[in-house]
Structure 1
């Protein structure tokens, strides 16, 4: 029996590794003190690669930018930054989809929330909260609300947004037929390079539990 249990454990571990699943215990002490440097600070963020919003059909933006403020805070989860403005596409580089060009109008502020910090990698794990946006793709118009999981890496200044199904919801849809409905579960993915406004300085976020 012990050999069988050992064999199952080995196979399970190998399977997890094959699928890139991290088999590790959760942090014993979640961060409750969040140190942002510099603080407070205004920041700007510019997309690094395409930004993707998928609501049954993919919508691609080659240009996107955001701005807001960031500051040290306490708690878990804890708000470490505010997105006061965010745009998707421009008049000359619109976002695109199979339904036609896509226009997205965000209702801000959105909040960047920190939950966990890995001191060895300098990566903060959390999510963008309070997302609300009206999306028009051709004649189809729908509203997206919710949150999107993400990470922030101190060494690169990259805010990587990588939502999972169920975090965002469609609260209303008009002229979308069965393509986009209130049952649709959109996803929002993309990387943003963050800098202190007017500089080339990459801000850092560090969590601790004194």
Structure 2
């Protein structure tokens, strides 16, 4: 049975305001050497606030989904080049047992296909912030009888001082590539926007990994 879609522009706008990244000046020269400390290192991460997912049909019109719990694990390593793959996400969970992701239209479950890549492009030495994206993102979303799949990339920024990885999804980064029984709720080509902050630690410790880019 089809359910009506109501506008969630206000909620989505508030989420975007909470997680939007300020534009930082690019490095004088693109970094080509990426030093991860320690390297290689296994990492685990949990969300520091609600993860907000927006299935965007048209501007300011979509389905807002909130995940109060989310986590991922993977690894980081030093690398060279620009862009450069400095890490992988080996498992990713939206929601948790007893804390599913919810929307005004009910709960949604996510089944990511990993690994994803963590790609670095720019490093600001004055702030210790590295910018890049999560690549090879692929997940299946189930919402009642509706099942759809999204693929693409998510822009990210990593702050060495805090271990904070900010996901700042934008329109067109992740798109619906297939769907079944979704109709106009999640049409092929629609964007799925993820906005969240995660705190990274070396697995099993309180150590915060660092990512530093340089151009020798």
- The interval holding the TM-score normalised by the smaller chain is 0.7 to 0.9
Deviation per residue, 1:99-139 (Å, 9 max, x gap): 31111000000001000000000000100000000001222
Q: Which residue of 1 aligns with 2:67?
A: 61
Question: Which residue number corresponds to residue 52 of structure 1?
Answer: 52
Distance, in Å, in 1 between the alignment partners of 2:185 and 2:108 is 15
Name the structure 1 match of 2:138.
132
Identify the residue that residue 37 of structure 2 maps to in structure 1: 37
The equivalent of 2:211 in structure 1 is 205
Task: Provide the C-alpha distance between the structure 2 equivalents of 1:98 and 1:138, rounded to a whole number of angstroms.
Answer: 13
- 1:37 CA drift (Å): 0.2
Distance 1:102 1:62 in 2: 13
Matches within 5 A, 1:96-115: 96-115=102-121
The Cα offsets for residues 58-87 of structure 1, whole Å up to 9 and x where unpaired, read as 111001100011100001010111000011
Paired residues of 1:132 and 1:144 also in contact (CA < 8 A): yes
Query: Given that residues 97 and 137 in structure 1 are in contact (C-alpha distance below 8 angstroms), is that contact kept between their aligned partners in structure 2?
Result: no
CA distance in structure 1 between the aligned counterparts of 2:153 and 2:91, rounded to whole angstroms = 16
What is the aligned counterpart of 1:94 among 100, 103, 110? Answer: 100
Unaligned runs of 5+ in 2: 1-20, 56-61
1:147 alignment counterpart: 153
Any conservation in 2 of the 1:99–1:138 contact (CA below 8 Å)?
no
Q: Output the aligned Cα RMSD.
A: 1.5
State the Cα distance separating 1:170 from its structure 2 match: 0.3
User: For 2:107 and 2:35, how far apart are their aligned partners in 1?
Assistant: 40
For residues 178 and 22 of structure 1, what CA distance do their matches in structure 2 show? Answer: 34
| Number of corresponding residues | 190
Runs (4 or more) in structure 1 with deviation over 6 Å come to none
* Structure having the higher Rg: 1
Alignment-derived partner of residue 4 in structure 1: none
Partner of residue 76 from structure 2, selected from 70, 84, 98: 70
Alpha carbons of structure 1 residues 23 and 49: separation in structure 2 relative to 1, 3 Å: closer
- The answer to whether the aligner puts 1:196 opposite 2:202 as a matched pair is yes
Q: Distance in 1 between matches of 2:205 and 2:189?
A: 43
